Amino acid sequence: MANDILIHITGLCALSLNVFALLLTCEKSLRVHSGIAGFVWALNNLLLGAHTAAALSLVSAGRTATSAVTLKTGDRGRLTAFAGFAALALLVSAVTWHGLPSVLLALASLLSTYAMFYMRGKRLRWTMLVVSGLWMHHAWSNDSWEQMAANLATAAAALYGAWRAERR
């Protein structure tokens, strides 16, 4: 019972952080808050027993925080960081392989890795909409209503963020 409550609490915290991050117009703040949400999602997935998702959430959190630092660095530094996190995502997916769900999570991780290092504004937010769709399968298969709500809310926030970015 206590574990179920902790699962719900971590899910709600991560959900709130995700939505808040995507509503921000500052690219660096979006990445910092998304990185923090990634750590909380990792804990949530670990509590659910979803080891691939937990490991990829940790990779995502580190990647997102690193991408915030590399926003103003040169192409070489960004490419090195991108390649490292893409390789790490593939390695984690291979080590924790669990069939089709692992493929979808690996694809989501690679797509969001590229987006975090190379996209901004509405293109970044549109890509995060696609990533939310890929993560929805995982949420559905683990009966995690917080993650399903997070993916829907993230998709809505991404759409709203893209609209706001286009208006600026």
Alpha helical stretches, state H, 70-141: 75-95, 100-118, 121-141
Q: How many CB atoms lie within 10 A of CB 59?
A: 23
Give the sign of the dihedral formed by CA 45, CA 51, CA 52, CA 58.
Answer: positive
- pLDDT attached to residue 80: 93
User: Which pTM value belongs to this model?
Assistant: 0.78
Domain spans of the chain, in order of start? 2-167
Element (H, E) at 162: helix 145-167
In degrees, rounded to 5, the angle at the alpha carbon of residue 129 between the alpha carbons of residues 123 and 130 is 95
**CA 92 to CA 59: how far, in whole Å?**
9
Average pLDDT, 10 consecutive residues per value, the chain (168 residues): 85 87 82 90 92 87 88 86 94 87 89 91 86 87 83 83 77
The DSSP symbol for 70 reads: G
pLDDT at 1: 62
